[in-house]
């Protein structure tokens, strides 16, 4: 780390949940941060997800390790924010409600049991349930359920509230947050090190840049001459009218009748959020009626009781994806002083707590909470490995 | 393309019905989609809803007699998507009673789309506006005219705009006593330019307004301008209201407050807000809360036309003219069979209507002083019970600076009405708090799901475009 005479130590580019978590982790370590967001704070991908913190959907590997670390990190981080900001400004509807993965068809049931066994050997709390036990936990679940796994650690929060709470802490520590700032490129000195970022209103001097640009992280990396294969993916969410408490108790995910995977769970107000997997996306996307219908079909099959419930709204949004489905966290060896925290493949909210912490630890040279190797820019999996799309 | 081209008209009020007729007479197949059982929209509610009568209103009769129009009643469009050809759209709709599950799902391919979705009443919040008995002027009139039911026995009417007068008269007709009509604006300015008002509004409209004023005078209803209801009071229901004199910015003149009691209903109307979700879903440019159209009612989106109050509020005559022009233009663009003389005649009436709309807007502006009546506990969003204090905290404490994130931070506009009642007010309040309009003022008007759909009905729908298009 180099500290300049003027300017800040780090410019974090991106005011979504990942940028906010990085800025929080850095300012907690005494790093002087300026967060630059092109649009409104927490207004893009962060405002278009479902806020699920899940390990249930992660196959064993570095993705699961990071998710487990993040799910354990979130409550600690939120407790610290409550201490620092007071309960009202730190509130973000965090609720450890547990997850339930279910399968209806025989071959999917076998695959689910196999996945749970592998997750258990990787240290995850994944408890197999009989169909009766599953219906005992989730009374409105379809009686056709054949296999179910309970994940007590799965949780939920409201992403915009979480991001604004993290940013409130950044502000409280003297960090600066600027919106409407479009970072065009990264400026380097004669020695090749980062000296600032360029904006339409002139340069912002800094010693390092954290690229937390979400679906646009690839664009900034490209402008800095260090291309990053982060591509936008599209996800869709349906929100129902409020239902009586307990109608849907867990975050339930499953696949029915060969349809797409669907994740169903209730918000504190009783509304049920139904979200899809992410699909490849073009530059301009709109909601597709067929996607909404497919989501509705899967949900009505999983929870027949929901068939009569009105869907009040629907939204879609871009989520960043990488070729190997893992985020990129760490300094770019091609470009000293340029750090990435990007490519979270639709799980940015779940992974933000560990991502910010890992980035902060790597930045200040502390021992990391997880092995950073699988997330580094120079890993073989970026741009080479087969594509995975496992995150809902 | 084998099938002949088809226009889908959404909304069967004066604008939509005229658009459908004009396009059908031009030889085009038309599907006219509307949520109500019968043609006519809000304006023609009166002649259509005669109890026990199946007599058709002339507009309705023309629609029924036109073989090229398929009228889908009790049908709502819940989504629009780009269609298979440039300028075409997929129109996803459901038909049937809104109270029951099992509404029929249908998807139409529209080679051209005419959006005549109208406008709904605007209500500005004030302490007590959430009390039962406080209703919109439009709802009170619909109840009085459509069902001959009065919203209350002793009623106060408050707000701004010429619509307050027919609303008050409809209450008298339904048997209410009207304790006062309080107009926040100062409409006398407009009448100073009587020739222009006559030219653009037409003598019939002025005669209509004069007849309302006469009826109110005969019943000795006090009508005051530069005054408004600034608070409603009551235990579980409105029992009294506070009326105050307003300054030029609509701030309360100190000491002018006066309580009117007893009352059992309050009708509020601060003009109208265009229903923008379908135009926004179709990608139409919207400016100052209205769909932008050219001299032929074409929007900025290819294949999409708009007419009536979505383009600006000027009353049914202007809406009908816009509808006819839009229908002619859509038919001409699809069949290349233009009728220049009729287009020109309709266009002239449309221009007069636009001048009238501009005069109305200049006469009855919303002044920012309404914001100063809100207290910490005044509800801004009734569905989610969000107070002004909570909205302000979202902006000042949380740093949320866009409507989308403000919604998600304090839940304003996330309830049953999806921001139709509170969205514009919240955006105005946020503009006051930020010192600038939020970047996404239209976020509360954007509803990709334009109408609630039951999950089971959504699941039953057909995938993809229909085979015969």
Q: What is the CATH number of the domain that holds A122?
A: 3.30.9.10
Same fold, B6-120+273-361 and B123-270: yes
Q: How far apart are CA A209 and CA A35, in angstroms?
A: 10
At A264, list the tokens: 């169903």
Least confident piece of the model among B75-84, B153-162, B209-218, B339-348: B339-348
Q: Is residue A91 part of a domain?
A: no
Overall size of chain A counted in residues: 392
Interface test with A, best of B458, B462, B464 (most A CBs within 10 A): B458
Which residues on A lie below 8 Å from B437 (Cβ)?
none
- What tens digit of pLDDT does each residue of B261-286 get? 999 999 999 999 999 999 999 999 99
Closest-CA distance, B80 to chain A, in angstroms, reads 8
Domain span at residue A124 reads 99-152+232-321
Residues A315, A253 within the same domain: yes
Say what percent of chain B tops pLDDT 90. 73
Domain coordinates in residue numbering, chain B = 6-120+273-361, 123-270, 374-444
Question: Does one domain contain both A202 and A350?
Answer: yes
Stretch 399-418 of chain B: residues touching chain A, C-beta under 8 Å: 399-402, 404-405, 408-409, 411, 414, 416, 418
B79: chain A residues, CB-CB within 8 Å: 287, 289, 292
| pLDDT average, residue stretch B74-79 | 96
Cβ within 8 Å of residue B446, ≥6 positions away: B277, B280, B281
pLDDT score at A318? 87
- Interface contact A168-B398, CB threshold 8 A: yes
B287 neighbors B294 (Cβ within 8 angstroms): no
pLDDT score for A391: 35
**Confidence category of residue B464, pLDDT binned at 50, 70, 90:** low
Residue contact B455–A41, C-beta within 8 A: no
Percentages of chain A per state (helix, strand, coil), in multiples of 5: 35, 25, 40
Q: Which helix (H) or strand (E) holds B453?
A: strand B453-454
Both A105 and A194 in a single domain?
Answer: no
Residue A65 sits in the same domain as residue A172: yes
Domain co-membership, A137 together with A238: yes
CB contact under 8 A, A293 and B90: no
Verdict on whether the full-model pTM lies above 0.95? no
Using CA atoms of B150, B154, B160, B166 in order, give the dihedral in degrees to the nearest 10.
40
Residue A323 sits at φ, ψ, to 5 deg, of -60, -35
Placement of tokens 């006090």 in the chain: B222
Cα(A144)–Cα(A129) distance, integer angstroms? 14
Q: Cβ of A177 and B404 within 8 Å?
A: no
Residue A80 lies in a domain: no
Q: Are residues A307 and A177 in the same domain?
A: no
Task: Please tell me the predicted confidence (pLDDT) of residue A383.
Answer: 60
The first and second tokens of residue B148, run together, are 């001959």
Q: Which residues of B touch A41 (CB under 8 A)?
A: 399-402, 405
CATH number at residue A21: 3.50.50.60
- Across the A:B interface, residue pairs with CB atoms under 8 Å apart total 130
CB contact, 8 Å: B461 with chain A? yes
CA distance A98 to chain B (A): 23
- State the Cα–Cα distance between residues B29 and B17, nearest whole angstrom: 14
- In this prediction, residue B38 carries a pLDDT of 87
> In CATH, which of 3.50.50.60, 3.40.50.2300, 3.40.1410.10, 2.170.150.70 is domain B6-120+273-361?
3.50.50.60
Fold of B374-444: Arc Repressor Mutant, subunit A (1.10.10)
Q: Judged by CB atoms within 8 Å, which residues 271-290 of B form the interface with A?
A: 281
A174-225 pLDDT, tens digit per residue, is 999 999 999 999 999 999 999 999 999 999 999 999 999 998 899 999 999 8
Task: For residue range A314-370, list pLDDT tens digits in order.
Answer: 998 888 889 899 999 999 999 999 999 999 988 999 999 999 999 999 999 999 999
Between A326 and B439, name the one with better pLDDT.
A326
What secondary structure, in 3-state letters, does B432-449 show?
HHHCCCCCCHHHHCCCCC
Q: Do B402 and A41 touch (CB under 8 A)?
A: yes
- Nearest in space to B124 (alpha carbons), one of B393, B365, B407, B394: B365
Q: Say if residue A369 is in the same domain as residue A238.
A: no
Residue B70 confidence (pLDDT): 97
What is B236-287 written as a DSSP string? SS--EEEEEEB-TTSPBPTT--EEE-S-SEEEEEE-EEE--HHHHHTT--EE
Contact B449 A297 (CB under 8 A): no
Phi and psi at B425, nearest 5°, equal: -60, -45
Burial of A250 (0-12, 13-18, 19+ CB in 10 A): buried
Same domain, A67 and A107: no
List the one residue out of A165, A129, A169 whose CA is nearest residue A26.
Answer: A169
Q: Are residues A144 and A237 in the same domain?
A: yes
A300 shares contact with chain B (CB less than 8 Å): yes
d(CA A213, CA A185) in angstroms, rounded, equals: 12
Looking at the fold, whether A250 and A276 belong to one and the same domain comes out as: yes
Whether the predicted pLDDT of B190 surpasses 70: no
Residues A237, A307 within the same domain: yes
CA dist., res. A326 & res. A52, Å (int):
17
- Specify the number of domains making up chain A: 2
**Architecture of the domain defined by B123-270:** 3-Layer(bba) Sandwich (3.50)
Q: Flag whether pLDDT at B99 surpasses 80.
A: no
Shortest Cα–Cα distance, B86 to chain A (Å): 16
Average pLDDT, chain B: 90
User: Across the strands, what pairs with A273?
Assistant: A239, A265
Question: What is the predicted pLDDT for the residue at A385?
Answer: 36
Does residue A85 sit within a domain? Answer: no
C-alpha distances out from residue B291 to B118, B279, B283, Å: 11, 7, 10
> Is A82 domain-assigned?
no
Q: What is the pLDDT of residue A384?
A: 31
C-alpha to C-alpha distances, A307 to A232, B227, B323, nearest whole angstrom: 32, 49, 38
Q: How far is CA B65 from CA A178, B16, B48, in A?
A: 62, 16, 17
Measured CA to CA, the distance from residue B360 to residue B160 in angstroms comes to: 11
Q: Which residue has the tokens 């019905």?
A: B17
By residue count, chain B amounts to 469
**Mutation target among B277, B405, B464 for the A interface, most CBs of A within 10 A:** B405
Each residue's pLDDT tens digit, B368-418: 999 999 999 999 999 999 999 999 999 998 989 899 999 999 999 999 999
The answer to whether residue A140 sits within a structural domain is yes
CA dist., res. A75 & res. A54, Å (int): 14
Give the DSSP H/E element, type plus range, for residue A276: strand A272-276
- DSSP annotation of B298 reads B
H or E element in which residue A197 lies: strand A194-199
**ipTM of the prediction:** 0.90
- Looking only at the bridges linking them, the beta strands covering A155-156 and A52-53 are antiparallel
Contact check, Cβ <8 Å, B453/A171: no
Q: What is the pLDDT of residue A286?
A: 77
Residue A272 inside a domain? The answer is yes
Q: Work out the pLDDT band at B208, boundaries 50, 70, 90.
A: confident
Nearest to A160 among B81, B384, B409 (CB): B409
Q: What is the residue-level pLDDT of chain A in tens, covering all 392 positions?
A: 444 446 899 999 999 999 999 999 999 999 999 999 999 999 999 999 899 999 988 999 999 999 999 999 999 999 999 999 999 999 999 999 999 999 999 989 999 999 999 999 999 999 999 999 999 999 999 999 999 999 999 999 999 999 999 999 999 999 999 999 999 999 999 999 999 999 999 999 999 999 999 988 999 999 998 889 988 888 899 999 999 999 999 999 998 766 778 999 999 999 999 998 767 666 667 788 988 999 999 999 999 999 999 999 999 888 888 989 999 999 999 999 999 999 998 899 999 999 999 999 999 999 999 999 999 998 988 863 333 333 33
What is the secondary structure of B77-108 as a DSSP string?
EEEEEE-SSTT-EEEEEEES-TTSS-PEEEEE
- Give the C-alpha separation, B275 to B119, whole Å: 5
Average pLDDT over residues B185-201: 72
Q: State whether A41 and B461 contact (CB < 8 Å).
A: no
In this structure, are A304 and A240 located in the same domain? yes
């Amino acid at each position: 780390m180099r500290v300049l005479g003027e300017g800040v130590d780090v410019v974090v580019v991106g005011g979504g949940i990942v940028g906010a978590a990085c800025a929080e982790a850095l300012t907690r370590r005494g790093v002087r941060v300026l967060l630059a967001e092109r649009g409104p704070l927490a207004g893009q991908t962060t405002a278009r997800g479902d806020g699920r913190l899940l390990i249930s959907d992660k196959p064993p590997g570095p993705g699961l390790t990071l998710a487990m670390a993040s799910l354990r990190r979130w409550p600690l981080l939120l407790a610290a924010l409550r201490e620092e900001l007071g309960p009202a400004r730190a509130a973000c509807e965090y609720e450890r409600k547990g997850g339930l993965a279910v399968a209806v068809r025989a071959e999917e049931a076998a695959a689910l049991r196999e996945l749970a066994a592998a997750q258990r050997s990787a240290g995850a709390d994944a408890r197999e349930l009989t169909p009766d036990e599953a219906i005992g936990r989730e009374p409105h679940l379809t009686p056709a359920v054949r296999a179910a796994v309970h994940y007590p650690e799965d949780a939920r929060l409201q992403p915009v509230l979480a991001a604004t709470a993290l940013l409130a802490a950044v502000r409280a520590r003297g960090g600066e947050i600027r919106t409407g700032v479009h970072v065009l490129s990264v400026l380097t000195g004669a020695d090749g090190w980062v000296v600032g970022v360029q904006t339409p209103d002139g340069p912002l001097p800094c010693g390092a840049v954290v690229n937390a640009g979400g679906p646009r992280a690839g664009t900034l990396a490209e402008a800095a001459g260090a291309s990053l294969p982060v591509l936008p993916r599209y996800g869709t969410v349906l929100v129902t009218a409020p239902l009586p408490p307990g109608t849907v108790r867990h975050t339930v995910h499953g696949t029915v009748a060969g349809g797409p995977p669907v994740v169903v769970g209730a918000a504190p107000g009783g509304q049920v959020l139904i979200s899809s997997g992410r699909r490849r996306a073009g530059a301009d996307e709109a909601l597709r009626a067929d996607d909404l219908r497919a989501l509705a079909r899967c949900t009505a099959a999983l929870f027949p009781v929901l068939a009569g419930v009105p869907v009040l709204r629907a939204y879609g949004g871009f989520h960043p994806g990488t070729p190997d489905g893992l985020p990129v966290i760490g300094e770019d060896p091609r470009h000293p002083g340029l750090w990435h925290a990007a490519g979270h493949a639709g799980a940015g909210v779940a992974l933000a707590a560990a991502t910010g912490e890992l980035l902060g630890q790597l930045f200040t040279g502390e021992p990391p909470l997880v092995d950073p190797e699988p997330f580094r820019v120079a890993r073989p999996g970026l741009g080479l490995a087969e594509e995975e799309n496992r995150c809902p | 393309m084998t099938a002949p081209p088809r226009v889908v008209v959404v909304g069967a009020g004066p604008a939509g019905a005229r658009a459908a007729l004009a396009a059908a007479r031009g030889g085009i197949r038309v599907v006219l989609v509307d949520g109500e059982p019968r043609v006519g929209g809000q304006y023609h509610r009166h002649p259509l809803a005669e109890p026990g009568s199946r007599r058709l209103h002339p507009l309705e009769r023309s629609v029924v007699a036109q073989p090229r129009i398929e009228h889908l009643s009790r049908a709502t469009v819940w989504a629009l998507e780009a269609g298979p050809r440039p300028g075409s759209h997929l129109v996803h709709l459901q038909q049937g009673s809104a109270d029951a599950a099992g509404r029929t799902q249908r998807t139409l391919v529209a080679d051209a789309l005419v959006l005549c979705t109208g406008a709904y009443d605007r209500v500005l919040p004030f302490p007590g506006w959430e009390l039962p008995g406080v209703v919109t002027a439009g709802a009170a009139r619909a109840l009085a005219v459509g069902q001959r039911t009065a919203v209350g026995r002793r009623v106060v009417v408050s707000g701004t705009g010429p619509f307050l007068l027919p609303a008050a008269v409809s209450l008298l007709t339904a048997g209410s006593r009207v304790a006062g009509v309080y107009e926040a604006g100062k409409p006398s300015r407009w009448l100073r330019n009587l020739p222009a008002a006559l030219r653009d509004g037409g003598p019939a409209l002025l005669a209509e307004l004069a007849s309302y004023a006469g009826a109110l005078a005969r019943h000795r209803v006090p009508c005051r301008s530069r005054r408004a209801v600034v608070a409603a009071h009551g235990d579980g229901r409105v029992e009294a209201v506070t009326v105050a004199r307003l300054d030029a910015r609509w701030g309360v003149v100190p000491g002018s407050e006066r309580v009117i009691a007893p009352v059992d209903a309050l009708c509020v109307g601060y003009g109208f807000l265009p229903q923008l979700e379908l135009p926004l879903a179709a990608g139409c440019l919207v400016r100052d809360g209205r769909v932008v159209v050219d001299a032929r009612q074409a929007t900025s989106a290819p294949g999409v036309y708009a007419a009536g109050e979505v383009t600006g509020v000027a009353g049914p005559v202007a809406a009908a003219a816009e509808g006819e022009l839009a229908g002619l233009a859509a038919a001409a663009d699809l069949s290349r069979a233009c009728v220049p003389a009729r287009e020109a005649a309709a266009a002239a009436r449309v221009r007069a209507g636009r001048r009238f709309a501009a005069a109305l807007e200049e006469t009855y502006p919303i002044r920012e002083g309404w914001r100063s009546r809100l207290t910490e506990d005044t509800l801004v969003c009734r569905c989610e019970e969000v107070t002004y204090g909570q909205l302000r905290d979202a902006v000042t404490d949380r740093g949320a600076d866009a409507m989308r994130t403000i919604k998600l931070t304090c839940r304003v506009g996330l309830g049953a009405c999806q921001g139709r009642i509170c969205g514009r007010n919240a955006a105005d309040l946020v503009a006051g708090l930020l010192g600038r309009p939020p970047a996404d003022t239209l976020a509360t008007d954007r509803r990709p799901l334009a109408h609630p759909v039951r999950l089971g009905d959504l699941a039953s729908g057909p995938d993809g475009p229909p085979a015969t298009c």
